[in-house]
Amino acid sequence: MKPALLETTFDSRPIRRTVILGVLVVGLLRADGMIAHIAAGQGWTTTITLVNTSTFAQPTTVWFWDRGGSPMTLNVTGLGASTGYMFTLAAHEIGVAELTGSPTRTQVGYATVVGRTVAGNSIFRYSVQNYPDFEASIPIVPAVQKIVLSFDNALAV
């Protein structure tokens, strides 16, 4: 991505502005929600909790992606190595899945959720013997097709 260079004047002095626009396209699949961060392996686990907020059954699929947007394989407790998992949540039902990884390698990325009436969160935990556990939680947020980030760095020349 190439920054655009704009020149204007202020008080008879030229001012250069570098404007950088970035676009993030979310997955190749249709997604209703996004989990911004997941981590598994080398002491990290991620627990994903999904809640069907409707009065009808909702098929739900979660896909794992690495930071570059490629499918990522993680161990899902009770399922094994997988690039995602799928189940049907009954009305107002909660589904929980724990993601684990290799003891010698940490995998990080994000997840997309397909299920229109599903809410929830992700808790990623770092646990190492003889140290207190570290936990953080992030909500599932509605997926967007693109995010435009602008940056304006005005410099007087």
**Which of 49-53, 132-136, 144-148 comes out lowest in average pLDDT?**
144-148
Average the pLDDT over 75-104 and give the result.
Answer: 92
pLDDT in tens, 10-31: 445 554 444 444 334 444 456 8
DSSP 33-89: EEEEEEEEBTTEEEEEEEEE-SSS-EEEEEEEEETTS-B--EEETTTEEESEEEEEE
Model's pTM, two decimal places?
A: 0.72
CATH topology of domain 27-145: Hypothetical Protein Tm1070; Chain: A (2.60.290)
For the chain, the domains span: 27-145
Question: What does each C-alpha distance from 98 to 20, 21, 53, 78, 138 come to in angstroms?
Answer: 38, 36, 21, 9, 15
